[in-house]
């Protein structure tokens, strides 16, 4: 039987780009406004971009079959898997790939990733696990669900639910350790 697994909570879209010192100066001194910054360094031009759902807030899961919703549970009801974990550090002093790191993190409320599962087995909550991705930032960590598993098999993210913007922050982590916040 085919099942759809919907998630709800706090989706998070993140984008990171490596930028040169001269561009950092242009941004810091107001020679590049936010819209130009977004077009030049973020929209389809960033080195790391994705949207996942926050584990820092509770994730709600709903499982549906062709007859409707058959099961619901939260991230507190399932275990975290050691498989599929990942970490990204924005600060260039800890990330050799970035000279200066421009990052945009935007939070939403509502629907998150949607997964599909096909199985003839009875669906049981205890057969679900998830892995985490951590974004290490200067002021703390953001923990996101990286992958969802059923019986240790990674489920494919097939869609994303409907959500609405909550808040966003944009920063530049400079090679010298300074952090510049960009007003958006």
Residue 88, judged by CB atoms within 10 A of its CB (0-12, 13-18, 19+), counts as middle
For 124, the domain range is 2-182
Number of domains in the chain: 1
CB 180 within 8 A of CB 172: yes
**Distances in whole angstroms, Cα of residue 131 to Cα of each of 30, 84, 102:** 40, 6, 26
Q: In terms of pTM, does the model score above 0.75?
A: yes
Q: pLDDT 10s digit of each residue in the chain, 184 long?
A: 999 999 999 999 999 999 998 889 888 888 888 888 888 898 888 899 999 999 998 999 999 999 999 999 999 999 998 888 899 999 999 998 999 999 999 999 999 999 999 999 999 999 999 999 999 999 999 999 999 999 999 999 999 999 898 799 999 999 999 999 988 7
Phi first, then psi: give them for residue 163, nearest 5 degrees.
-145, 170
Of 2, 11, 1, 28, whose CA–CA distance to 160 is shortest? 11
CB 16 within 8 A of CB 46: yes
DSSP for 82-93, please give it.
Answer: STT-EEEE--TT
Residue-level pLDDT at 177: 92
């Amino acid at each position: 039987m085919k099942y759809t697994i919907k998630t709800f909570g706090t989706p998070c879209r993140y984008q990171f780009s490596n930028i040169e010192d001269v561009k950092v100066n242009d941004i810091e001194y107001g020679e590049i406004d936010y819209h130009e910054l977004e077009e030049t360094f973020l929209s389809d031009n960033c080195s790391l971009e994705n949207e996942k759902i926050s584990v820092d807030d509770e994730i709600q899961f709903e499982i549906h079959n062709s007859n409707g919703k058959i099961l619901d549970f939260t991230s507190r009801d399932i275990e975290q898997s050691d498989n599929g974990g990942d970490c990204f550090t924005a600060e260039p002093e800890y990330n050799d790939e970035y000279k200066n790191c421009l990052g945009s993190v935007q939070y939403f409320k509502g629907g998150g990733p949607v997964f599909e599962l096909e199985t003839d087995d009875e669906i049981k909550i205890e057969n679900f696990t998830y892995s985490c991705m951590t974004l290490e930032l200067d002021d703390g960590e953001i923990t996101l669900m990286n992958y969802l598993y059923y019986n240790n098999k990674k489920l494919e993210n097939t869609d994303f639910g409907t959500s609405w913007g909550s808040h966003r922050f944009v920063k530049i982590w400079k090679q010298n350790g300074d952090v510049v916040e960009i007003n958006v």
